[in-house]
Amino acid sequence: MAIPDTGSVQIDSEPGGASVFYGGAFLGNTPLKVSNIPAGQADFTLKRNRYREKTIAVSGIGGDDPVSVKVELRFFNPPVSGMEWKNSQDMLFDWVD
């Protein structure tokens, strides 16, 4: 039996709708199934407005069954000097340093 050269990964996030990048290229938004990923391990970066960027290492890629991962994103929305800012409860502030 031949060792697979590629595999697929099913990526989901909480909250959903995160942009997924692989090797610097945008692949789509979560939930997302990505095919033709080289077998072994791959790093994916998830980005979403008002959340911290997160890079994950996915291992076990290869074969017919996709590797499934769910990524918890952490809220992050710091104020910017001179701009209006909404906190996590949608309260609006004028922010001045």
Each residue's pLDDT, cut to its tens digit, for the chain (97 residues) gives 566 799 999 999 999 999 999 999 999 999 999 999 999 999 999 999 989 999 999 999 998 899 999 999 999 877 777 778 777 788 887 766 5
Collapsing DSSP to helix, strand or coil, 86 comes out as: strand
Region of 51 please: left (phi>0), alpha (psi -120 to 50) or beta.
beta
* pLDDT at residue 96, as a whole number: 64
